[in-house]
Structure 1
Amino acid sequence: MDSPHGAAVKAEDFGLKGPRGWAFRGVGIDAAPGSLIAVEGPSGSGRTCLLLALTGRMKPTRGHAEVGGHRLPKRMTAVRRIAALGPVTGVNELDQALTVAEQLREGALLQRHYGAPVRAMLRPRAERRAAAEARIAAALEAAGLDLATLPKGGRTSVRDLERLESVRLSVAIALLGSPGLLALDDLDLKLSDTERAEAWNLLRSVAARGITVLAVCSEAPADAIVLRTSPKEPDGSAGPDAPAVAQGDADAEAEADAGAGSGSEIDTKHDTKSVSENDDTKGADDALAEAGRA
């Protein structure tokens, strides 16, 4: 893989509001390249919407952010090019019908189409295949996934993977594009304490390579820069408008108020779907569903 160059993540009074209220608001952060950032909060607190907004997949409605020098919401497309998105339900999921090897080849193929320079696509087929295999091998090593340990090796079905193995596969696929920012949703979902520790150790190793990591979780580790999201009020309105600030040290904290949902679109170009960046209302139902699930 190419040498990674992490993306700094900054935000000031960052928020997203839709027809049903705030998904999140008042978010502030100043994280250096190669940081480990955790978005911590309960289900329904807007965690996924914040992740999608910081990776250029949802358009914010308040304040601004900057990822890798690209300002949001003005340069969402540029942010998507440097931010690799792990599985998000309904947006960018592993294909359960594929084998692990097929999923990796598909990821490499998509990267060649969307992320590789034109000159790379003009190389002989055998050379392109060898380059793709080398990138896959390097990504698997970085993600700590040894295909030989799987029940059927690379022919193991994605649906048969254990949860932690799925996380490692997702990380490997994301790393194929040598991103500046790696973002994962629901990192600790269905993981035991031991598996959770392994997952965070994996992300620490990715961050140590220089790649900035952003992970949604229910409980953040002590060494992460933490953005905390708050559940919505019983009446569905946003909670108290407390500003959230997370500085570039492990003890910094943030609080993001959450509403019932967002009318902002989800733009997943370069992932598995594509929605026009200029249409603020298209995909509103999907965005509302994501805000409610986050």
Structure 2
Amino acid sequence: MDSPHGAAVKAEDFGLKGPRGWAFQGVGIDAAPGSLIAVEGPSGSGRTCLLLALTGRMKPTRGHAEVGGHHLPKRMTAVRRIAALGPVSGVNDLDQALTVAEQLREGALLQRHYGAPVRAMLRPRAERRAAAEARIAAALEAAGLDLAALPKGERTSVRDLERLEAVRLSVAIALLGSPALLALDDLDLKLSDTERVEAWDLLRSVAARGITVLAVCSEAPADAIVLRTSPKEPDAPEAPDASDTPAVVESDADAEPDEGSGTDTKTDTKTDTKTDTKTDTKTENDDTKGADDALAEAGRA
């Protein structure tokens, strides 16, 4: 396995807003290559969305970021090429029906087809197989996964792995592509205190190889660069822009009345209303009476 140089991760006012509001917003970071970065926060606070945005898998809607010199969101494809995902539920889950050896060979095959240069495909089959086996062995060593220690060795089913063993296997597969950035979701999920220490030691060893590590967790270690996400709150209605605010039209009621005009206005309104009502009613009654008289005269005729 190659020894890649890690990717610097920078962000300013980084945010992503979806149909239900902000997944995360206002994120800022300036991490050097080979850093250990922890995204800390409770479940549902946008941790996974932030991880996927920084690895080029989700498109941000505010601010900007730079990963390995590639700007987001303009160069998401370039970021995906240098950023590998460890365990991320629902995105790159391990295949529970495979054995550990089969899962590793599948990872190496996918890497050879999609990540390796074209000239590597032209090598003799025996040479390609030897190169894949060497890459797998190096990745397993970096991930700290000893196949001989598993219940059935490399034939152990993925579904029978302990949680920390599954994390190590996912990390090994991710490292097959020699990434500059390794990202993991829910690192400390279902791990005991002892296993959490081992998991963070694993990530420190990966970072020590020059690979930048980004891990989502509920509690970050003291030596990590921490990005904290907060639980979602209902969005407050946004204040309208001045250009969208309708002009205020001053009504007669709001105008300052002339001296004595208040009394005259009330008197006139009251008088006009009563007079008009009485006049209209009287006229209507006279018209009705006249119509009745006309009908009566027509009947007599």
Q: Is the TM value for this pair above 0.5?
A: yes
User: 5+ residue gaps in structure 1?
Assistant: none
**2:269 maps to which residue?**
268
CA 1:250–1:169: 2 relative to 1, 3 Å: farther
Q: How many angstroms does 1:68 deviate by?
A: 0.2
Deviations, residues 103-136 of structure 1 (Å, cap 9, x unaligned) = 0000000000111011101000000000000000
- Kept after mapping to 2: 8 A contact 1:236/1:259: no
Larger RCO, structure (CA 8 Å, separation 6 or more): 1
SS in 2 for 1:257: coil
State the TM-score, normalizing by the size of structure 1.
Answer: 0.80
Indicate how the Cα distance of structure 1 residues 49 and 195 shifts in structure 2: closer, same or farther if over 3 A, else same. same
Contact 1:185 1:217 in 2 (8 A): yes
Structure 1 residues 62, 17: closer, same or farther in 2, change over 3 A?
A: same
Q: CA deviation at 1:282?
A: 75
Task: Label 1:286 to 1:222 Cα distance change in 2 as closer, same or farther (>3 A).
Answer: farther
Bigger radius of gyration: 2
* Partner Cα distance (1:185, 1:292) in 2: 97
1:87 Cα shift? Answer: 2.2
Correspondence 1:51 to 2:37: no
Cα offset, 1:44, TM superposition: 0.6
Q: CA deviation at 1:19?
A: 1.1
1:195-250 CA-to-partner distances (Å, cap 9, x unmatched) read 00000000000000000000000000000000000001267999999999999999
Contact 2:100 2:158 in 1 (8 A): yes
SS at match of 2:288: coil
Name segments (4+ residues, structure 1) moved above 2 Å: 234-251, 254-269, 271-274, 277-294
Distance in 2 (CA, whole Å) between partners of 1:4 and 1:287 is 109
Q: Note if contact 2:21-2:235 (Cα within 8 Å) is conserved in structure 1.
A: no
Q: How far is 1:162 from its partner?
A: 0.2
**Structure 2 CA distance for partners of 1:285 and 1:200, relative to 1, 3 Å:** farther
Please give the alpha-carbon distance, in whole angstroms, between the structure 1 residues aligned to 2:141 and 2:224.
Answer: 23
Give, in angstroms, the shift of residue 92 of structure 1.
1.1
Could you tell me whether the CA contact under 8 Å between 2:67 and 2:79 is conserved in 1? Answer: yes
Q: 1:284 to 1:258 in 2, by over 3 A?
A: farther
Distance 2:168 2:297 in 1: 23
Instruction: For 1:24 and 1:203, locate their aligned partners in 2 and report how far apart those are by CA, in whole Å.
Output: 25
Q: 1:56 to 1:120 in 2, by over 3 A?
A: same
SS in 2 for 1:65: strand
Aligned to 2:123: 123
Shift of 1:256: 54
CA contact (8 A) 2:39 2:226 kept: yes
Change in 2 beyond 3 A, CA 1:185/1:52: same
State whether residues 266 and 283 of structure 1, in contact with CA within 8 Å, keep that contact through their aligned partners in structure 2. Answer: no
Tell me the secondary structure at the aligned position of residue 60 of structure 2. coil
8 Å CA contact 2:87–2:171 kept in 1: the answer is: no
Cross-structure match for 1:246: 249
Question: Contact 2:17/2:23 (CA < 8 Å) preserved in 1?
Answer: yes
Cα distance, 1:89 vs. partner? Answer: 1.8
Q: Secondary structure of 1:244's match?
A: coil
SS at match of 2:16: strand
Question: What whole-Å deviation, never above 9, does each CA across 1:24-53 have from its counterpart, x for those lacking one?
Answer: 000000000000000000001000000000
Q: Which has the higher helix share?
A: 2
Residues 91 and 223 (structure 1), Cα distance of their counterparts in 2 relative to 1, 3 Å cut: same
Please provide the CA RMSD for this pair: 25.8
Single out whichever of 10-19 and 242-251 deviates more from structure 2: 242-251
Q: Deviations over 1:69-110 (max 9, x none)?
A: 000000000000000011222211111111000000000000
- Mapped partners of 1:154, 1:118: distance in 2: 30
Q: Given the superposition, is the C-alpha separation of residues 255 and 54 from structure 1 closer, same or farther in structure 2, using an over 3 Å criterion? A: farther
Corresponding residue SS for 1:151? coil
CA–CA distance in structure 2, aligned partners of residues 195 and 45 of structure 1 = 24
CA distance in 2, matches of 1:247, 1:47: 50
Figure out how many residues of one structure are paired with residues of the other and give that number.
289
Where in structure 2 are there 5+ consecutive unaligned residues? 271-279
**Percent of residue pairs bearing the same amino acid type:** 91
Cα pair 1:265 1:282 within 8 Å, conserved? no
* Deviation readout 1:139-176 (Å, 9 max, x if unpaired): 00010000000000000000100000001001100000
SS of 1:200 mapped into structure 2: helix
* Distance 1:200-1:138 versus aligned 2 partners, 3 A rule: same
Distance change (3 Å), C-alpha of 1:104 and 1:24: same
